């Protein structure tokens, strides 16, 4: 029964992000506040531009990852297969959605394992929630989840806001940092720590780095509001007297726009790279085009990620449309590199962004 509830919730999440406007209402990711300084004398040909990079020891055609989205129910097998096939064709990285359901039941294991089946040569990372990590005694369960998808890394997602608002949420976060530190020590693959759309601050990253974490996905505010998703889910509950009293005591939709905008989170986190040069930073949360990928890199990120725009492209026009969307973003990134005189991603990381007047 518990597994069925988890599967149903995963399916509802995907359906809502496709059917409803779950964007932030009064907050953006912040990319529009900054722009590159145009270089009228780039001294290179467009064909010289090389946006390739490496992640988890593997080469990517450009610094982009299809961020963790789904898994754990029947239709997720098709979605994850097609996302992985596109990543394999474009030589990109991919994260799977939360694998909590795979801990509860083997029924939908293939909705996760299919990723490695169809994409044997790309960086893939697994995913579990912080509340589950807080209860772990050792890394054995996470190792099984990593083995299920042949993971090159494993992500722990921090989602206290979502757990607070989710009707069946688990806002029990005492012990998460200790669990993360244990996983860093016991897992044979790198650990990624990511938010899911409310951002990570400098003070939190310092604690994570002290615990041994070397890959951070800021996942800031400005894209999908997971608070909004849970608010919409909660509104579907039949308003009987008991539920009405329960909902009256809940925080409500004043938290729809809660979070640190992606650019602000990114600037905070990347400021630590001078002290911790081994830190890898992924920018996500409201990344909607190749120029924003370029700005993320100039702020200090090593890669950028996107989830809902990729899912929407796939479900709107299939794999071909998703491929064309990603190719367009890649071309836009290369355009930004050309127009700033940046032949490589390392060159782009040295570019300065200016605050718009």
**pLDDT tens sequence across 297-316:** 999 999 999 999 999 999 99
Asked whether residue 6 carries a pLDDT value surpassing 90, the answer given is no
pLDDT in tens, 173-191: 999 999 999 999 999 999 9
Position 252 confidence tier, pLDDT thresholds 50, 70, 90: low
Asked whether residue 232 carries a pLDDT value surpassing 80, the answer given is yes
Alpha carbon 46 to chain centroid distance?
Answer: 30
Asked whether residue 244 carries a pLDDT value surpassing 80, the answer given is no
- The 8-class DSSP code of residue 173 comes to -
In the chain, which ranges are E strands? Answer: 34-36, 53-55, 58-60, 64-66, 93-95, 124-129, 153-158, 191-195, 215-217, 280-283, 303-306, 353-355
Alpha carbon 353 to chain centroid distance?
Answer: 24
Nearest Cα to 160, choosing from 190, 129, 202, 135?
Answer: 129
Nearest Cα to 187, choosing from 210, 161, 164, 214?
Answer: 214
Query: Which two structure tokens, joined as six digits, stand for 154?
Result: 């494993």
Asked whether residue 1 carries a pLDDT value surpassing 50, the answer given is no
User: Angle, to 10 degrees, between the axis of helix 2-19 and the axis of helix 226-235?
Assistant: 110
- The 8-class DSSP code of residue 260 comes to -
The three-class DSSP label of residue 2 is helix
CA distance 98 to 109: 12
According to DSSP H, which parts of 150-276 are helical?
Answer: 160-165, 176-186, 202-210, 226-235, 241-248, 262-270
* Phi and psi angles of residue 174, each rounded to the nearest 5 degrees, phi first: -70, 125
* β-bridge mates for residue 34, sequence order: 355
Asked whether residue 242 carries a pLDDT value surpassing 50, the answer given is no
Return the pLDDT at 23. 95
Q: Which DSSP string do the residues of 335-348 spell out, in sequence order?
A: HHHHHTT-SBHHHH
Asked whether residue 247 carries a pLDDT value surpassing 90, the answer given is no
Asked whether residue 153 carries a pLDDT value surpassing 50, the answer given is yes
Asked whether residue 213 carries a pLDDT value surpassing 60, the answer given is yes
Return the pLDDT at 285. 98
**What does the pLDDT average to over 61-71?**
96
Asked whether residue 90 carries a pLDDT value surpassing 80, the answer given is yes
pLDDT in tens, 272-288: 999 999 999 999 999 99
Alpha-carbon distances of 92 from 14, 153, 186, 264, 338, rounded to whole Å: 22, 14, 27, 26, 21
CA distance 213 to 196: 17
Return the pLDDT at 64. 98
Position 253 confidence tier, pLDDT thresholds 50, 70, 90: confident
pLDDT in tens, 104-127: 889 999 999 999 999 999 999 999
Return the pLDDT at 237. 52
Return the pLDDT at 251. 58
Instruction: Output the average pLDDT for the chain.
Output: 93
CATH for 2-355 (3.30.930.10, 3.20.20.140, 3.20.20.70, 3.30.70.270)? 3.20.20.70
Asked whether residue 239 carries a pLDDT value surpassing 80, the answer given is no
Asked whether residue 245 carries a pLDDT value surpassing 50, the answer given is no
- 8 Å CB contact between 309 and 284: no
The whole model's pTM is what? 0.94
């Amino acid at each position: 029964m518990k597994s069925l509830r988890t599967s149903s919730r995963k399916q509802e999440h995907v359906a809502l992000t496709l059917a409803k406007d779950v964007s932030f209402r009064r907050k953006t990711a912040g990319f529009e506040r900054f722009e590159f300084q145009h270089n009228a004398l780039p001294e290179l040909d467009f064909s010289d531009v090389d946006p390739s990079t490496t992640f988890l020891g593997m080469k990517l055609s450009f610094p982009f990852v299809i961020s963790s989205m789904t898994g754990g129910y029947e239709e997720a097998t098709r979605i994850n297969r097609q996302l992985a096939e596109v990543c394999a064709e474009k030589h990109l990285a991919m994260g799977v959605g939360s694998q909590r359901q795979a801990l509860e039941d083997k029924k939908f294991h293939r909705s996760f394992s299919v990723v490695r089946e169809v994409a044997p040569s790309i960086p893939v990372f697994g995913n579990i929630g912080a509340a589950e990590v807080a209860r772990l005694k050792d890394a054995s369960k996470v190792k099984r989840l990593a083995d299920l998808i042949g993971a090159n890394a494993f992500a722990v997602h921090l989602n206290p806001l979502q757990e607070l608002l989710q009707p069946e949420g688990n806002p029990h976060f005492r012990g998460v940092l200790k669990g993360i530190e244990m996983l860093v020590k016991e897992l044979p693959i790198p650990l990624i720590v990511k938010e899911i759309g409310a951002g990570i601050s400098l003070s939190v990253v310092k604690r994570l780095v002290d615990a041994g974490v070397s890959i951070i996905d800021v996942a800031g505010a400005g894209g999908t509001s997971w608070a909004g998703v849970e608010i919409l889910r909660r509104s579907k509950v039949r308003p009987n007297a008991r539920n009405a009293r329960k909902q009256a005591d809940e925080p409500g939709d004043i938290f729809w726009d809660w979070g640190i905008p992606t650019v602000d989170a990114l600037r905070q986190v990347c400021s630590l790279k001078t002290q911790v040069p081994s830190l890898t930073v992924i920018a996500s949360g409201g990344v909607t085009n190749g120029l924003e990928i370029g700005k993320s890199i100039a702020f200090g990120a090593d890669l950028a990620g996107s989830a809902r725009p990729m899912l929407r492209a796939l479900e709107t026009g299939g794999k071909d449309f998703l491929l064309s969307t990603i190719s367009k973003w890649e071309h836009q990134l290369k355009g930004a590199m050309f127009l700033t005189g940046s032949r490589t991603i390392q060159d782009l990381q040295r570019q300065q962004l200016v605050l718009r007047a």
